Amino acid sequence: MNKHIFVYGCTLVVISLAILACGFTLNLTPEPPAPTSTPRLEVTEQPAPQVIVLISIPFEETSETPPYRITAQIPSLQSRQGSEESRVLLFNQLVDGLVRGDIDSFRTSFQQNASNPLVVMGSTYDLQYALLSPAGDVMSLKFDINFYSDGAAHPGSYSLTFNYDLAAGQQLSLEQLFLPGSDYLERMAAYCKEQLNLRDIAYSEAGADPILENYRNWNITADGLLISFDPYQVAAYAAGPQTVLVPYGELQLVIDPHSPLAGFVE
């Protein structure tokens, strides 16, 4: 009898030690786990990225009487939001007006000043453009026009520029880039004159004087303001058109910190 009690007691001790080793928990009849619900994920719809691309629309017009041929590449913006997006629509209206206005002027000139009899093969006009600004909200276009009027001694060329702030939805003027009342024109003119004077072009200083008309053709590039001077403006026709890249560092003190140029100044 005592032997059985001893064995039974030892058995209880072993069981108790096993329970302690397992972390003091022994569920003889485990309860079913509490019901859980699948967490609901909050999905926030992100607006589709705005994609605006610049395309070219070809233009061609020919005439037999008087004979002339007009060709052009007209830049146009297309938006994922639709062509009626206001800032895109305004850009296209302004650019189209600029190009077609120039074409209309030459068409009238060709018609009114046609050679009679024909001297060569008629008159020609061709307009091409380049986007000079880096990727971003600024669209800076440079148009290069080459033309020939029948009977003229040689062909001619000139440039037009167009600068547009997509973020603001407006065309940019040169004075908008600089602090009001600052001497930005004087600074640009001084740098341009210094650079032009280094070239063997029979440089004419008056065409680079600090007046807005002399700096009507400008473009925003990654490295500075590109100033374009047409033939005859700062040099003889034979020297061709001239350009000067004015580094932003030369203009840093007069750039308006709220203008599109501020992002280019280190």
**pLDDT per residue over 137-168, tens digit each?**
999 999 999 999 988 889 999 999 999 999 99
Considering the domain boundaries, does residue 96 fall inside one?
yes
Q: What is the pLDDT of residue 50?
A: 61
What is the C-alpha to C-alpha distance for residues 241 and 235, in angstroms, rounded to an integer? 8
Could you say which of 140, 172, 204 is where a domain stops? 172
Residues 164 and 198 in one domain: no
Q: What is the pLDDT of residue 81?
A: 67
What is the C-alpha to C-alpha distance for residues 264 and 266, in angstroms, rounded to an integer? 6
User: How does pLDDT run across 171-205, given as a tens digit for each residue?
Assistant: 999 999 999 999 999 999 999 999 999 999 999 99
Residues 164 and 213 in one domain: no
What is the C-alpha to C-alpha distance for residues 159 and 150, in angstroms, rounded to an integer? 21
Residue 255: CA count within 13 A, CB half-sphere: 20
What is the C-alpha to C-alpha distance for residues 252 and 261, in angstroms, rounded to an integer? 9
Residues 58 and 167 in one domain: yes
CATH number, residue 162: 3.30.565.40
The arithmetic mean of pLDDT across residues 243-251, rounded, is: 98
Query: Which domain, by its residues, includes 207?
Result: 173-266
Looking at the chain, the whole-number percentage of residues with pLDDT higher than 70 is 79
47 or 228: which carries more pLDDT confidence?
228
Q: Which of 146, 153, 155, 130 has the alpha carbon at shortest distance from 219?
A: 130
The arithmetic mean of pLDDT across residues 5-31, rounded, is: 39
Residues 214 and 117 in one domain: no
Token pair in block for residue 123: 């008159």
Q: Specify the number of domains making up the chain.
A: 2
Residues 263 and 222 in one domain: yes
Q: What is the pLDDT of residue 82?
A: 60
Task: Tell how many helices (H) and how many strands (E) occur in the chain.
Answer: 3, 9
SS3 174: helix
Considering the domain boundaries, does residue 45 fall inside one?
no
Residues 215 and 150 in one domain: no
Considering the domain boundaries, does residue 177 fall inside one?
yes
The arithmetic mean of pLDDT across residues 98-125, rounded, is: 90
Question: Which residues are 130's β-sheet partners?
Answer: 142
User: How does pLDDT run across 233-245, given as a tens digit for each residue?
Assistant: 999 999 999 999 9
Considering the domain boundaries, does residue 58 fall inside one?
yes
The arithmetic mean of pLDDT across residues 213-240, rounded, is: 97
